[in-house]
Structure 1
Amino acid sequence: MMENGSKGKLIEKIQNCDNPYLLKQLEALVNREKALDPLGNFSQEYPILLESHTSRDLRIFKNMESPVDNPLSRYDTKATPYFFYISVLMLMISAAILNSISHDEENLFIAVFQAKTAAIYWSIWFVYLLDFGLILFLARKHNQKIATGEFIFRIFALAFPPLRMVSRHIQNIELVWVPFFGWSQSNEGLLKLLKRKFSLPMIFIALLILPVLIVEWKFYDEVSTFLETDLTFLLDMVQAFIWMAFAFEFILMFSVSNERLDYVKRNWIDVVIILLPFIAFVRSIRLIKIARLTQIARGYKLRGILMKARQGLIFANFFYRILTIKPTFQIKNLKKQLDKNQREREEIEEQLIELYRVLKAKKAT
């Protein structure tokens, strides 16, 4: 129970408070006093319910010293910045391959282009395999522990190497290597800073989908005749650049975020934009095993639909990013989030009350 002195100080603070928002929150809480009575008794038995929550860490810690007290740490500290640049290259190659398969008919030039870029991709992939093997070797030889979360992330990076672009330290997952920032502490402050820096550039990049759509839908023949070339490859590469930017931003933010599942949920449109080319690509690989032309035709049609769906999502994403700049939209959106969080809080409190009643009933028997 709150001591009289503390209660008196709280009452005094409330009397001196002129913040209408805070007073409204206090009023809503006091109005639920009877409903929360069981929690008052519960908190006396379990004082942990009265402990203050951990404050948000909005500080920025960059260019920090990473651990170098053993060979494994020293290797990861030195290798990670190089893998950023290699992973950016792998992301560019992935974008070129994944975004050059939206054609409705076979194109020899595209086929040769894909074959060469795929060969480069797999050649570089062995560097990641060597890196992974070396990490395991150093950890075992020097009896060093690898952070489980980062180890799993590195396994996924073997499947899709661009994930290695922004890595946590192999032994200290609180440290993440970010370009221009070096080794930085992964916290909410760093994530918010990166969001601000990516906000405007991503709007302009998403805007690039407009000329692509206009040319594809209205002026393809005219522009193609004027430039005396097939625009298919050029338009694909523009979309590859857009896709690469979305993937780069997502991988960076996902790697820095400490609440990765929540980040994925909040940015599901970006996830779909990134994944759609993979679905089309898997479909195209399957087509290699199919001999009948009718099925091949259906496959290309499906790929075309998937690419159009991605274009639509990028277009929608562009408008959403524009809306988030408007204060009125932000206020309404954030108010909805506040209401949702309040409902979730009340649901959790109801669960605690139910638990209290169950425990009380058990003690009574």
Structure 2
Amino acid sequence: MSAPEKVLSAPPPAAPLRHGVMLVVALLFLLLVAIVLPHGDSGDSFREAARLHPAYLTVLLGAWAFIALESLAGLFLAADAWPARLKRLLLITLLPPIRMTTATSTPPGWLWLPGAGWRPTGPKTTERLEQKLALPMLFLTLLVLPVLGAELGAGEALDKRPTWALAVHLTTCLIWIGFVAEFVWMISATPQKLGYCLRHWINLVIILLPLLAFLRVLAVFRFARFFRAGKLLRAYRLRTLNSRLLRLALLFNLFERIQQRNPEKYCTSLEKKIAELEAELTGMKEKLEAFRVKKAD
């Protein structure tokens, strides 16, 4: 049992309608942000038109205000200390997509999952969530291939074909939204948040690069054009695809299942691993004995 499960004696009230609505509003906010971000070489005219549309800012601020006001009201429904409630309010107000998993009315240690309600955070929930997200995220990551094919194959021709450029841009928006949503759910589920960020730093790069490009904070550097052209994003997307394929294989023990089709080779492989572990254990025992002797002297 994880630490949060020991502290919390009962799950928070379900309120599926309320939290389901907030999940949709948080995803809407994420979509509105995604469509104006530069995700590559295409969609500049659409992004600019969307950003300058009179209704865009109204809807964006409306979604943000809805999340902020609901979080403010949730302060009075929480049972834990006020500093913790205010901390959650600040976090959700600054990062509205966090509302997909976290509410000011619910103490730390709980995660909202669509269709499952509130679940205690910890290794069990993290593992279960990773398994459920593995295939959908692999599908989203595979969309990188047609996007790269269009960007590299068509090149500047995309600017002359607005429909193609829009399709590529919307596809990259979908990929980005998927990465953000997965990251929010996974970082909310695991107690070791820094460790998760370090292990999945490529995902963070995919999320942050369009934001940095939009803010143009790198405009003073010489490689700003390289950054804006999407070359960095292409490289990291391909690397992410390779990483996800490997993680999926490990997650579902695909390598081991393939080996088990040949019993003799599988047994030989296990015997080799056992021998390596035994040799490593013997070496560690020898080091420990040598250290004890040295310490005794």
For the residues of structure 1 that align with 2:43 and 2:135, how far apart are their CA atoms? 37
Structure 1 residue aligned with 2:70:
131
| Residue 120 of structure 2, aligned match among 175, 178, 185 | 185
Question: Alpha-carbon deviations, 1:98-127, whole Å to 9, x = none?
Answer: 246x559973x4322123334311121111
Taking a change above 3 Å as real, the CA distance of residues 321 and 149 of structure 1, as seen in their structure-2 partners, is: farther
* Runs (5+) with no aligned partner, structure 1: 1-54, 69-73, 288-294, 358-365
Residue type of the alignment partner of 1:113: A
Paired position in structure 2 for 1:174: 109
Cα deviation 1:257-297 (Å, max 9, x = unaligned) = 1221111111111111111111111117x98xxxxxxx8xx
| Residues in 2 aligned to 1:147 and 1:256: alpha-carbon distance in whole angstroms | 23
Aligned to 2:92: 157
Contact 1:65 1:183 in 2 (8 A): no
Within 5 A, what are the aligned runs for 1:1-365? Answer: 66-67=11-12, 79-99=18-38, 102=40, 107=45, 109-116=46-53, 117-136=56-75, 138=76, 144-146=79-81, 148=83, 151-167=86-102, 170-220=105-155, 229=162, 231-283=164-216, 301=225, 303-305=227-229, 307-326=230-249
Deviation, structure 1 residue 160: 2.1
| Secondary structure of residue in 1 paired with 2:191 | coil
The superposition leaves residues 289-329 of structure 1 with CA deviations (integer Å, 9 ceiling, x where unpaired) of xxxxxx8xx79725524x32122111101111112344599
Unaligned runs of 5+ in 2: 257-272
1:147–1:203 distance in 2 versus 1, CA, 3 Å: farther
| Shift in alpha-carbon separation, 1:159–1:106, aligned structure 2, 3 A | same
Q: How far apart, in 1, do the equivalents of 2:152 and 2:205 lie?
A: 23
Provide closer, same or farther for how the CA distance between residues 323 and 93 of structure 1 changes in structure 2, counting only shifts above 3 A: same
CA RMSD of aligned residues (A): 4.1
Structure 1 pair 115–159 and aligned structure 2 pair: CA distance change class (3 A): farther
DSSP-derived class of the 1:167 partner: coil
- The two structures have a TM-score, normalised by structure 1, of 0.58
Q: Provide TM-score, normalisation by structure 2.
A: 0.70
SS at match of 2:115: coil
Q: What secondary structure does 2:112 align onto?
A: strand
Q: Percent identity over the alignment?
A: 22
Q: Return the alpha-carbon distance in structure 1 between the equivalents of residues 172 and 243 of structure 2.
A: 19
Change in 2 beyond 3 A, CA 1:106/1:246: closer
| Larger-gyration structure (1/2) | 1
Q: Is the 8 A contact 1:174 1:186 kept in 2?
A: yes
Tell me, in whole angstroms, the C-alpha distance in 1 between the residues paired with 2:57 and 2:223. Answer: 21
